Structure 1
């Protein structure tokens, strides 16, 4: 019952804040809400009745203070937010706000590093133990983790990648200790909430965002160190060479969706099997034009070839997620969907 009253009270306050805004701003806020939330809030506004200026001012002020506190937490953690709010509002009010947020807010471990460039973060952590680096990488956004992983030495890349894949989570005290290490280097720290990270899927998300050269090095090292783990990672990934395992009808769909220049560039370093798979699924005229474009392409940067391959793979993954095709991964003598 208390929870229901609290939710109702929260909706009433949200309604008061919304009607205090101009119509354009209020409409903009509603665009970011789910249909169910919009319906509940609209009903609350409809039954709001008269609101005194004192009640409105108090509610808007409370909303502003909570929003400010949440921003402080994102920037430097709960301790940082508490310190700033105590200076602005006094100890009692600051504790009240922090306690309310702490009860409902889950801050992702290492959330504060999102304000740091991957280059800076790499320079801070590259001297740490590989397990420490793996813990940090596992909690980063995939794109940020990919850039950090790409900047490490090949040996360290493989070591960290394997540790991320084998990670099943970490105890809160371990995460806090590692965060403390970064605090001393970044002068920004907060006690973050525990959340599980790591594992094969986490590594796959990172590998899907790194450049092809880094991906290749890591997969080769994984195969040397742990063939079973490498196979598990590969089964969850779709790489450019896997086009040879796709059904012809799906290859034809992909060819229709990609730019011919990207296709020619991507095939520059491709195996004969991949080239044959592509050309067999094109008309004779289109196939001849592609071969001619490849012949006259001339020397190109490997990075440009890899970017073209990644662009095609990204398109295949998007089409697979949309249910338009099935991307098949190789597994020994059988195919795994």
Structure 2
């Protein structure tokens, strides 16, 4: 579109609050308004979403009386006076939808960032433009057009229409960034690209980040990805991160976007490619479920000193080996039948008191003897082997609790 001067005039009109019909018309800008010819729409065959007329803009209809344009409204509704926002942004948004992403992008690229954001928000919320409204809008904005359009059928707006226009105007990356800023509630989590990374890669990306940034990032990833990343972070930093996750509250979307953009750039360098509420305690509980049991127990022990209320809340959300003591016997017996004597012996290594008694009491006398003998034969074993056995058992136990297959015998789970 040869529209540099007209776009500049339009941009000023948006700031001044003028409507498009108040802009200088094509032709001699000094002509009085009542001498400017009005062109009636000419019906021709449809060429996609729009119909190109055969008449050139500015041609006069010989001897025909001037036709006044009448804006139509849906049947049964009285026409309402548009608000300033409707006049300034919503009708502009509908106009850009009507002329298509290619031409719309040339106009949008000339506007101020604040105007782009407002118009984008309107485009994303528009469900459609009726043919009658389209004719009205195209006539109103005729001074911006270097060719004549008329609408054919119902034209849709929405988030995809906004995305197409922004991508055409600014390119994919900058366009997506503008879209997230304008309509944050309609955009997916900007950190989802990290879900494809291994725990080592995520830890590498976060290596030089603060504990606060790492907590923000990990709270937005799946529990499994977060646990894998924490397993590759130093113990000191790991503890600080999980404490911050538990205390997370609201995170502005622009902050998430900046962090995501920075990490995306880091990811490339290592060869891999609105306010939102976060329940930090729930996120931490989910992370600990996928972490090794010794790490979870250590976190809970340290939180018991620093923040007893938080520690108790996490214990209620997170099942530990101590909860096995309160479980019904039948599912425990079924699980033990699937385990080898060696695995049970590893599970019992270093355990005493209620947990060990619970496991032994759910085996036959002969198998108890075999498991005890197996434990003696094993002798001292690496702690990581015991932690692995504990973790496998807890994964099964927590899944059973979540699915309702395992019930704890206490007042919350049993009705007398």
TM-score by length of 1: 0.62
Count how many residue pairs are aligned between Structure 1 and Structure 2.
Answer: 244
Partner of 1:243: 324
Higher mean alpha-carbon deviation, 132-141 vs 159-168, is at 159-168
The range that moved more, 236-245 or 130-139, is 236-245
Instruction: Describe the SS at the equivalent of 1:208.
Output: helix
8 Å contact kept, 2:198–2:228: no
Residue matched to 2:315: 234
Q: Determine the C-alpha separation between the residues in 2 that align with 1:194 and 1:257.
A: 48
Q: Is the 1:158–1:222 contact (alpha carbons within 8 Å) kept by the matching residues of 2?
A: no
Structure having the larger proportion of residues in helix: 1
Alpha-carbon distance, 1:216 to partner: 2.7
Residue 245 of structure 2 is matched in structure 1 by 164
Mark the structure with the bigger radius of gyration.
2
Asked if the contact 2:199–2:225 (Cα under 8 Å) also holds between the matched residues in 1, the reply is: yes
Choose from 307, 317, 321 the match for 2:388.
307
Match of 1:37 in 2: none
* Native 8 Å contact 1:316 1:327 kept in 2: no
> What do the CA deviations read for 1:98-157 (whole angstroms, capped 9, x no partner)?
99xx99964223112223332232122232221111000101121110122222222322
- Taking the aligned partners of 1:181 and 1:198, their CA distance within structure 2 comes to 24
Q: CA deviation at 1:249?
A: 4.2
TM-score, normalised to structure 2's length? 0.51
Instruction: Give me the whole-angstrom Cα distance separating, in 1, the residues matched to 2:184 and 2:354.
Output: 57
Question: In the alignment, which residue of structure 2 is the partner of 1:47?
Answer: none
CA contact (8 A) 2:285 2:318 kept: yes
Shift of 1:84: 6.1
Paired residues for 1:2-81 under 5 Å: none
| Cα RMSD (Å) | 3.6
> Aligned residue for 1:10?
none
Instruction: State whether structure 2 residue 405 is matched by structure 1 residue 324.
Output: yes
103 and 303 in structure 1: CA distance in 2 versus 1, 3 angstrom threshold = closer
Contact map agreement 1:110 1:140 (CA 8 A) in 2: yes
The alpha-carbon deviation at position 289 of structure 1 amounts to: 1.4
Runs (5+) with no aligned partner, structure 2 = 1-159
Q: Does 1:222 align with 2:315?
A: no
State the Cα distance separating 1:162 from its structure 2 match.
Answer: 1.6
1:288 aligned onto 2:369: yes
Q: Which has the higher contact order (CA 8 A, sep 6+)?
A: 1
